[in-house]
Amino acid sequence: MEHADLVGLGSAVLLAGLLARLARRFGLPSVPCYMLVGIAFGPGTPGPVLVDHPGELSLLAALGLVLLLFHLGVEFPLDQVVGGGRRLFVAAACYIGLNVTSGLLLGLALGWGGSEALVLAGALGISSSAIVTKLLIELHRLTNAETPVILGIIVIEDLFLAFYLALLSPVLSAAESPAELAEDVAVSFGFLVLLFAVARYGARAVAALIGSREDELLAVLTVGLVVLVAGLSQEVGVSDAIGALMIGLVVSRTEIRERVERLVLPLRDVFAAVFFVTFGLTIDIADMGAVAVPVAVAICVTLLANVSAGIVTARLFGFNQRAAANIGLTVLGRGEFSLILATLAVGAGLDERIGPFIALYVLLLAVLSPLLATHSRYLARIMPDRVLRPGWRYVREETISTSCTHLDQIRVTRTDVDVCAACEALGDDWVELRLCVTCGHVGCCDDSPHRHASTHARESGHPIIQSLEPGEDWRWCFPDETLVRAPLGAQR
């Protein structure tokens, strides 16, 4: 690499970091910022060009991709997935199925080709773990009842990615006959099974190979192993991304996992930034106009699929409209995985419109997903009762929390009283009844003229009421101003 290239690359990465730092102040993710700098200062955009030949950065970009997938494998919480139960797998299958299928149908409708449709299916079907996690933190939703479900879905998506890449790599290799394609698929999945076996039975040997008390040597040995396995994956016709992801799963089963995760994280962030900047450098801005309409359609399709999956998931777990909206809109963001698939497609010589399509799609969703997730209550307002449990109609716009600090005051959960005694004494009617779970007092709801339930809570200091309406089991905490729900593992 010449000095001019080093200056250009350094300038591009520095500008990308500065733009990402500015974007963080507005709650926007960093990945689109890296892409934007690459697009703005690449050879495909009028104006100053920092890197004339992005292809010369391919090795550094590949290293970023490899470390990104490796770190994902190391972080993979297998116990969380297994412990999520059948409902979590059904919810994730629904989410992946709706999004991947809609992406595949859109790709076929565009008429770009079968291989291109498979790439679009993955790009539209797999959300960004980084963007989703960042949103949950910034929107202060980590204690929401639906958050473990959201995290479980994106974790299972990560696992699905390994199998999808194993299927996609032989397809992108352009096999000359069905028999050759079947052989390539068999090799790809065989390699995947081999690495799963190593993760299951060979983790101790891997730890002995790369383990060291010195952080420097551990980092060097780990990166060397990751790059070697990724290279071997490519040699046998499997994507280097699969090899990196799977060796990450192997390391996640060892006792040195936490040290490796800590040491590789800064390397991942730096080289991943180079990967995203390099991807942006390859985009010709003139090509984006031709894909603007298909991208707009793709965003609408993704939004519809996500909201539908959020409703199905909410029904599975007994959540209300607000939780359904939170689920559907929080996992809307697309990022690193979509760009990885775009890179593979460009490298395989597929339709040249795929790169600009996915770049514009990711950029627009990166802006839309935080905005829509922040205002999910508006979607909850128009979500009809019949699509979820009827018992949530009264509190459809409220977030469900598992962090109520007054659960120790729940002492009464049943009563035979079916009237508001205070309203009856006044000769007035009421709308709905609420039970004080501390003392058993029954009063009318806030839609009633006298609001005896909330008046009792205010005067007595008893924090939590429970709905007494047939089919409703929700509780409301006045001090915390939130719906009260036990954590998933403690639900009835």
| pLDDT (0 to 100) of residue 489 | 47
Spell out the residues 6+ positions from residue 354 whose beta carbon is closer than 8 angstroms to its own: 112, 116, 119, 120, 342, 345, 346
Spell out the residues 6+ positions from residue 375 whose beta carbon is closer than 8 angstroms to its own: none
Check the CA dihedral 324-330-333-335 and report its sign: negative
Core vs surface per residue 157-170: b (16+ CB within 10 A) or e: bbbbbbebbbebbb
Per-residue pLDDT reduced to its tens digit, 423-473: 999 999 999 999 999 999 999 998 899 999 999 999 999 999 999 988 777
Helix (H) or strand (E) holding 464: strand 464-467
Report the range of poorest mean pLDDT among 254-263, 291-300, 479-488. Answer: 479-488
| pLDDT (0 to 100) of residue 390 | 61
DSSP assignment letter at 395: G
Per-residue pLDDT reduced to its tens digit, 390-422: 666 667 777 777 767 788 888 998 899 999 999
pLDDT confidence bin for 108, thresholds 50/70/90? very high
Rounded-to-integer distance, Cα 353 and Cα 119, Å: 12
pLDDT at 52 over 90: no
Average pLDDT over all residues of the chain: 85
Spell out the residues 6+ positions from residue 263 whose beta carbon is closer than 8 angstroms to its own: 215, 218, 219, 222
Residue 49 CB-density burial (10 A; 0-12 exposed, 13-18 middle, 19+ buried): middle
Q: What is the mean pLDDT of residues 338-367?
A: 87
Rounded-to-integer distance, Cα 317 and Cα 162, Å: 27
Q: Virtual CA dihedral for 449, 453, 456, 460, nearest 10 degrees?
A: -160
Which amino acid appears at position 50 of this protein?
Answer: L
pLDDT at 94 over 50: yes
Q: β-pairing, 400-401 with 482-484?
A: parallel
Residue 310 CB-density burial (10 A; 0-12 exposed, 13-18 middle, 19+ buried): buried
Question: In which order are the strands placed within the sheet that holds 442-444?
Answer: 400-401, 482-484, 475-477, 464-467, 433-436, 442-444
CA 439 to chain centre: 43
The answer to whether the beta carbons of residues 81 and 152 sit under 8 Å apart is yes
Rounded-to-integer distance, Cα 6 and Cα 272, Å: 17
Q: β-pairing, 482-484 with 475-477?
A: antiparallel
| pLDDT (0 to 100) of residue 429 | 92
What are the structure tokens assigned to 302, written together? Answer: 């993704």
CA 275 to chain centre: 20
For residue 408, count other CB atoms closer than 10 A to its CB: 7
Residue whose C-alpha is closest to residue 79's, from 155, 133, 163, 131? 155
What is the full DSSP assignment across 304-315?
A: HHHHHHHHHHHH
pLDDT at 31 over 50: yes
pLDDT at 325 over 90: yes
Rounded-to-integer distance, Cα 198 and Cα 247, Å: 9
| pLDDT (0 to 100) of residue 490 | 47
- Domains by residue range for the chain, with CATH: 3-382 (1.20.1530.20), 402-490 (3.30.40.10)
The answer to whether the beta carbons of residues 339 and 271 sit under 8 Å apart is no
Spell out the residues 6+ positions from residue 303 whose beta carbon is closer than 8 angstroms to its own: 332, 372
pLDDT confidence bin for 326, thresholds 50/70/90? very high
Q: What is the mean pLDDT of residues 255-259?
A: 90
Report the range of poorest mean pLDDT among 80-89, 145-154, 298-307. Answer: 80-89
Beta bridge pairs of residue 483: 400, 476
Per-residue pLDDT reduced to its tens digit, 183-240: 777 877 787 788 778 877 888 898 999 999 999 999 999 999 999 998 888 787 677 7
Q: What angle do CA 235, 34, 43 make, to 5 degrees?
A: 80
- Coil, helix or strand for 435? strand
